[in-house]
């Protein structure tokens, strides 16, 4: 019996020591202690609150600090996604989401063994058209990136009309601006990182922000916002940028409205949902409000509010009014395939004439639609260029002209191993196609080859080198030349990767002339 008892005691001690080894010590943030978990050689923290729940009277307000907590908060589960229609993500083959208005949480993957490690930090901002998105999607697991010697943080932000609705009442109560609550959430997340990431082994003076699609557009907007000065030291934008003129009506190729237009959209929206005031709308339960808002278009995009976004980014960059840090920006060769699956030549031509007005003939000359296949290709290319590629090229040009920091541009042309389903039929390097390579997380149904894994290793190296030094180049990698207006080279990320001249330049030049014309027309009014 004594032998059995001794064995039992020894086993208990072994289990206890294993448990202790698997349980990291709590880390103190400014709001309280958090307990992470060990995963594959990293310490991971999920669901750390960085803002108070934006509910009730805090709906459509700038994020407020979270309430301090006593004891140790377990950080082993993602917070819910911000309010959105979960069907939108499911239609893209993404996981089912738990959604809630109480959603201002961030997550951390750190390889640091001590706060003294002071590792570079990469802060991820997800995409989703400013209407969808979550930090909890498996494709955004930061573990593979963190293993390369950086601390990865992902930040949630309000989307849709919960995150981007402007209204005269809101502007009156908030100092003359409204509508950019989702961007302010991102900024609050960066402020939290600056104050707290050192406790997780990160260096608050070596922060790189990176994002894709709406996340990449967010990166562009944060780069032009005076509110982010000093919060980061490098920026990576995948399929992002916001350098088109303000959108007043239905102008072709433009997205971001000025405050006056956004406020009117907000008034129309409240009228449609039957709310007499903002106070009344704040009393509607989130699920009920979500259903009402889903039936009304508009109000789901950032706003030139004069505060978070001082104005037209093109003009801000021309004047040198932006955060001058190294940037790594780029687009995919076949972005538009994810947005346009069929096209009618007559309808495409009519839409171009309606949206591009007096400039339509010049647009149709480089985006022709003489046949149905030609109209499909032009439809996809016009989406690629107006939403993403022209903005990226313009960002690189303007910063090269007026800034001092290095600029690196990529063109992702490698076809991912898409699942063999009708949804992906005919796709090349489509929108979001690079994400699996950046995170080393290929989606369900994909069958990556050794070449895919090799390209992923290369891209992760480029991204993390940039986070560490402000330059993606490193030992064993194809040389990536910095972009310069006198020598406009971009890195073609493919098998093999190599530097090439900027592709599709004939189209960019026509769009550049179009946007210049739009700005001249606006000055007349």
Give the mean pLDDT of 250-271.
95
Give the mean pLDDT of 186-210.
98
In whole angstroms, give the CA distance from residue 17 to residue 439: 33
The reported pLDDT for the residue numbered 8 is 40
Per-residue pLDDT tens for 305-340?
A: 999 999 999 999 999 999 999 999 999 999 999 999
Tell me which of 55-64, 186-195, 288-297, 435-444 is least confident: 288-297
Per-residue pLDDT tens for 495-513?
A: 999 999 999 999 999 999 9
pLDDT at 21 over 80: no
In whole angstroms, give the CA distance from residue 292 to residue 285: 11
Both tokens of 115, joined, read 């706060």
| 330 within 8 A of 238, measured Cβ to Cβ | yes
Rounded to whole angstroms, the maximal C-alpha distance in the chain is 97
The reported pLDDT for the residue numbered 212 is 98
Domains of the chain, first to last: 27-325 (3.40.50.1820), 339-525 (3.40.50.1820)
- Is residue 401 very low, low, confident or very high in pLDDT (cuts 50, 70, 90)? very high
At 86, give phi and psi (nearest 5°).
Answer: -60, -20
Rounded to 5°, angle at Cα 121 from 31 and 211: 100
Which among 22-31, 80-89, 373-382 has the top mean pLDDT?
A: 373-382
DSSP assignment letter at 120: E
The reported pLDDT for the residue numbered 91 is 55
Dump strand ranges (E) for 65-162.
72-74, 105-110, 119-125, 151-155
Residues 6+ apart with CB under 8 A from 229: 323
Quickly list DSSP for 331-399: EETBGGGGT-S---HHHHHHHHHHHHGGGHHHHHHHS--SSHHHHHHHHHHHHIIIIIIHHHHHHHHHH
Instruction: Give the residue numbers annotated as catalytic, written as ranges.
Output: 213, 335, 431
pLDDT at 10 over 60: no
Look up tokens 């027309």; give the residue: 521
Quickly list DSSP for 294-324: HTS----S--B-SSSS-S-HHHHHHTT-S--
Q: Is 65 exposed, middle or buried (0-12, 13-18, 19+ CB in 10 A)?
A: middle
SS3 call for 86: helix
- Is residue 13 very low, low, confident or very high in pLDDT (cuts 50, 70, 90)? very low
When comparing pLDDT for 422 and 452, which is higher?
452
Tell me how long the chain is. Answer: 525
The reported pLDDT for the residue numbered 3 is 40
The reported pLDDT for the residue numbered 93 is 59
Q: Is 14 exposed, middle or buried (0-12, 13-18, 19+ CB in 10 A)?
A: exposed
SS3 call for 249: coil
Rounded to 5°, angle at Cα 269 from 240 and 272: 145
pLDDT at 299 over 80: no
pLDDT at 4 over 70: no
- List Cα–Cα distances, 472 to 28, 235, 445, 466, in angstroms: 33, 12, 31, 4
At 400, give phi and psi (nearest 5°).
Answer: -65, -35
In whole angstroms, give the CA distance from residue 308 to residue 314: 15
Helix (H) or strand (E) holding 329: strand 327-332
Give the mean pLDDT of 102-116.
98
Choose among 112, 95, 100: nearest CA to 38: 112
End-to-end CA distance of the chain: 95
């Amino acid at each position: 019996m004594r032998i059995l008892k001794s064995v039992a005691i020894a086993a208990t001690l072994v289990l206890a020591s294993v448990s202790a080894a698997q349980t990291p010590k709590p880390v103190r943030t400014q709001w309280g202690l958090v307990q992470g978990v060990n995963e594959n050689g990293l310490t991971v923290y999920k669901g750390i609150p960085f803002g108070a729940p934006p509910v009730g009277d805090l709906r459509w307000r700038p994020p407020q600090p979270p309430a301090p907590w006593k004891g140790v908060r377990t950080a082993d589960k993602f917070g819910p996604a911000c309010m959105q229609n979960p069907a939108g993500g499911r239609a893209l083959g993404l996981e089912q989401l738990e959604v809630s208005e109480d959603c201002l949480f961030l997550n951390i993957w750190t390889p640091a063994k001590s706060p003294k490690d002071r590792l570079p930090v990469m802060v991820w901002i997800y995409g989703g058209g400013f209407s969808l998105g979550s930090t909890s999607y498996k494709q955004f697991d930061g573990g593979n990136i963190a293993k390369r010697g950086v601390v990865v943080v992902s930040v949630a932000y309000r989307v849709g009309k919960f995150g981007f609705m402007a209204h005269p009442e809101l502007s009156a109560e908030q100092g003359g601006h409204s509508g950019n609550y989702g961007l302010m959430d991102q900024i609050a997340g960066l402020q939290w990182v600056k104050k707290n990431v050192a406790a997780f082994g990160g260096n608050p003076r070596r922060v790189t922000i990176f994002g894709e699609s709406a996340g990449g557009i967010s990166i562009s907007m944060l780069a032009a916002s005076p509110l982010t000065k000093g919060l980061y030291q490098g920026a990576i934008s995948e399929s992002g940028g916001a350098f088109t003129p303000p959108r007043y009506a239905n102008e072709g190729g433009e997205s971001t409205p000025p405050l006056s237009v956004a406020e009117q959209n907000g008034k129309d929206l409240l009228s449609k949902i039957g709310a007499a005031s903002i106070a009344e709308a704040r009393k509607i339960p989130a699920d009920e409000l979500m259903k009402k808002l889903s039936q009304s278009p508009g109000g789901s995009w950032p706003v030139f509010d004069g505060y978070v976004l001082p104005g037209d980014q093109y003009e801000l960059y021309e004047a040198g009014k932006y955060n001058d840090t190294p940037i790594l920006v780029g687009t995919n060769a076949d972005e538009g395939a994810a947005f346009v699956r069929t096209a009618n030549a007559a309808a495409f031509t009519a839409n171009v004439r309606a949206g591009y007005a007096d400039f339509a003939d010049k647009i149709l000359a480089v985006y022709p639609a003489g046949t149905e296949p030609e109209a499909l290709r032009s439809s996809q290319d016009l989406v690629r260029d107006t939403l993403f590629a022209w903005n990226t090229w313009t960002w690189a040009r303007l910063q090269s002209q007026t800034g001092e920091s290095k600029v690196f541009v990529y063109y992702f042309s490698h076809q991912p191993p898409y699942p063999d389903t009708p949804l992906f039929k005919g796709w090349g390097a489509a929108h979001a196609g690079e994400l699996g390579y950046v995170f080393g997380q290929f989606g369900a149904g994909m069958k990556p080859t050794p070449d895919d894994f090799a390209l992923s290793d290369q891209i992760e190296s480029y991204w993390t080198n940039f986070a560490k030094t402000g330059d993606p180049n490193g030992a064993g990698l194809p040389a990536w030349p910095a972009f310069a207006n006198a020598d406009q080279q971009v890195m073609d990320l493919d098998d093999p990767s190599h530097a090439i001249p900027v592709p599709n330049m004939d189209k960019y030049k026509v769009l550049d002339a179009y946007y210049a014309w739009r700005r001249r027309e606006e000055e007349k009014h």
